Structure 1
Amino acid sequence: MAPGRRADGHTDGGGQFSPDNLAEALTAVCAAAGLDPAGAELLRCTNNAVFQLATAPVVVRIVASNALRHRVDKVVRVATWLAEHDVPAVRLVSGIVQPVAAGPYLATVWEAVPHGGRRPRGRDLAKLLRRLHEPPEPAFPLPAWEPLDDVRRRIGEADGLDDADLAFLRKRCDKVSDRLDALEFVLPTSLLHGDAHLGNLIPSPAGPVLCDFDSASLGPPEWDLTPLAVGVVRFGEPAGRYRELVRSYGFDVTRWEGFPVLREVRELKLITSVLPILSSRPEVRPELFRRLADVRSGDKSARWARYT
């Protein structure tokens, strides 16, 4: 999750912080950035620990998973490009060298999004995705779309999952990867958000803005249309939200022959997002094992609950 608050109030992901070192991390990052951590509120702690400062309209986002530290420089470049092209998105705080390195901690520092505005809808997501997907592509290097890379990294960082489950996930990744390699996409390659669901739009008085650029890459726009479609099936999100996305964007990924493969990729991400924090967050284990059981049994209609 990026700066601000999630529009849907959900939490879903994994990280490596514990209550013991959260305060230490925030204090170190704020000292390096010249900010005051007093009274800060923890908004979220998953792949990143996200704090709203009390002393300034600033959000601090500290990388929680060692396997994902490599993405931070890219996040800064993408955020800068979006600002230069006036795409509605969260903005980095100016005047601070970013990312902020403080001992073992790596962070980005963002302008807090003002409160207000209506809840984002499917058509809002469609309009923002069209802004991303239209040429020109950014001139700076971006990684090619490798959607299973972070899945494999999380499996490698798994803390508290037995060997049989890990072996199943690795084998599943290999099978899905082969099917993914065989796909022929119909939309032209573009800048991708990479995790384009309504929870990554933040309401503001000027309209919804995009956040969370950890998964940005160059790849097929079909991927950015997949999360909301999967959310309807797995999380029971209103189908009307996805229909709005289709009408406004002009492409229905669920009617494309490659969608079942993209759905499998998305579900692997949704399953593995908590693997690095299983020991410190035992409350997510029942939902994790339910998701694993559904995928093992081939149950494509079972509803999942958000990790909390």
Structure 2
Amino acid sequence: MRADESDRTSRALNAAVAAGRDLGLDVSGATVLHDLFSVVVHLAPAPVVVRVPVVLPRSSDVTALAARQRTELDVVAWLAEQGHPVIPPSPLVPREPVLRDGFSMTFWQFTEILETVEPDYARNAGLVADMHRALRGYPGELPFLSAAEPQMITDSLEDLGGEVDPADLDRARREWAVLEPLVRSRSAFQAEFGVDLQPIHGDAPPFNIVPTPNGELYADFELVALGPPEWDLAAFGPECEASYDARARALGLRELDERVLRFVNAVGMLRSLSCLALVPQLPMLADALKPAIEQWREMPFAGGLTS
């Protein structure tokens, strides 16, 4: 870890500890559980975990982040109240983001994760259908396809220069000119595809179904939004799509639409490419994104939606 990353982690940890202490928690054994896009802190011995986002696009200031976090807390609390298997907000503190030392953080109930259990993404994709059925009842308003983070893509494609092959950048900008109107406008999307929309998890939920001693729980609804169910299966491939479809049929939900899948896969790839703009904050992304970019080069332009 570079010195600036280590300093960022220390500042996030200190902010989480100070905020927890101010809220009356015993934080004497606080420890960092994860450190990537967010610093995740267990405020031990209190049964509370704090998630502190630290790697953010330039379009996301603390005010915008806090608004998104309030939505996440509300959706997950509602799911928990309905008895759905989620990691809920902590009941020991007020259910709202806390601003401290330049960070906006959220507080969650500590849950033991069975780290030795290998994830079964195909099986998890079937569980996503159950989550979608649960989310259909959520009564609140959600922004359309905010999970795609369109402003991040726009900004990144403007900012990226020498970090990206010129041919790749040219293609990405031309693709975004095709896809952006469908991401930005609910009416344009529905006119193009004619499929139903509903609350979606927004952030690769087959990755975010975690094994615990009390069963599998849905986690990390940071990008919860209104959108097509296909968004939650983007880039997971045919096996996961088939698993989702089988469970969707059993639950009386519609199966995945092929054209919408091509759309969400194309947008997801541009979102991955745009994350190269975050490399100065998180250098490991430079190598981590290479396989996705290589895959994108082999894909049809804009998911073949222009043909």
**In structure 2, how many angstroms separate the alpha carbons of the residues matched to 1:211 and 1:166?**
34
The equivalent position to 1:103 in structure 2, one of 87, 101, 104, is 101
Question: Hey, what does 1:8 align to over in structure 2?
Answer: none
Deviation at 1:292, TM superposition (A): 3.8
Deviation at 1:88, TM superposition (A): 0.8
Alignment CA distance shift 1:119-1:284 (3 Å): closer
The equivalent position to 1:176 in structure 2, one of 176, 179, 185, is 179
Q: Judge which range, 130-139 or 93-102, deviates more.
A: 130-139
Question: Hey, what does 1:139 align to over in structure 2?
Answer: 139
Q: Which has the higher contact order (CA 8 A, sep 6+)?
A: 1
In the alignment, does 2:35 pair up with 1:44?
yes
- 1:244 partner amino acid: S
In the alignment, does 2:270 pair up with 1:268?
yes
Question: Hey, what does 2:50 align to over in structure 1?
Answer: 60
Question: Hey, what does 1:149 align to over in structure 2?
Answer: 150
Secondary structure at 1:212 match in 2? coil
Alignment CA distance shift 1:131-1:284 (3 Å): closer
Alignment CA distance shift 1:257-1:28 (3 Å): closer
Runs of 4+ in 1 over 6 A off after TM superposition: none
Question: Hey, what does 2:74 align to over in structure 1?
Answer: 77
Deviation at 1:32, TM superposition (A): 1.7
In the alignment, does 2:101 pair up with 1:92?
no
In the alignment, does 2:241 pair up with 1:248?
no
- 1:143 partner amino acid: P
Alignment CA distance shift 1:261-1:135 (3 Å): closer
The answer to whether the Cα contact below 8 Å between 1:137 and 1:190 also exists between their aligned partners in 2 is no
Question: Hey, what does 1:21 align to over in structure 2?
Answer: 8
Q: Which runs of 5+ in 1 are unaligned?
A: 1-16, 233-238, 302-308
Alignment CA distance shift 1:102-1:248 (3 Å): same
Q: Which runs of 5+ in 2 are unaligned?
A: 184-188, 301-307
- 1:231 partner amino acid: F
Question: Hey, what does 1:222 align to over in structure 2?
Answer: 230
Alignment CA distance shift 1:78-1:161 (3 Å): farther
The equivalent position to 2:212 in structure 1, one of 204, 213, 224, is 204
Matches within 5 A, 1:281-300: 281-288=282-289, 291-292=292-293, 294-295=295-296, 298-300=297-299
- 1:259 partner amino acid: L
The answer to whether the Cα contact below 8 Å between 1:192 and 1:219 also exists between their aligned partners in 2 is yes
Alignment CA distance shift 1:158-1:80 (3 Å): farther
Number of aligned residues: 270
Q: What is the TM-score normalised by the length of structure 1?
A: 0.73
Q: Judge which range, 87-96 or 114-123, deviates more.
A: 114-123
Deviation at 1:148, TM superposition (A): 4.5
Deviation at 1:134, TM superposition (A): 5.0
Deviation at 1:75, TM superposition (A): 1.2
Secondary structure at 1:183 match in 2? helix
Question: Hey, what does 1:14 align to over in structure 2?
Answer: none
Deviation at 1:100, TM superposition (A): 1.4
- 1:220 partner amino acid: P
Deviation at 1:89, TM superposition (A): 0.7
Deviation at 1:124, TM superposition (A): 4.2
Question: Hey, what does 2:305 align to over in structure 1?
Answer: none
Alignment CA distance shift 1:198-1:138 (3 Å): closer
Q: Judge which range, 259-268 or 172-181, deviates more.
A: 172-181
**In structure 2, how many angstroms separate the alpha carbons of the residues matched to 1:205 and 1:247?**
27
Deviation at 1:222, TM superposition (A): 2.5
**In structure 2, how many angstroms separate the alpha carbons of the residues matched to 1:43 and 1:214?**
16
**In structure 2, how many angstroms separate the alpha carbons of the residues matched to 1:100 and 1:92?**
13
**In structure 2, how many angstroms separate the alpha carbons of the residues matched to 1:85 and 1:271?**
37
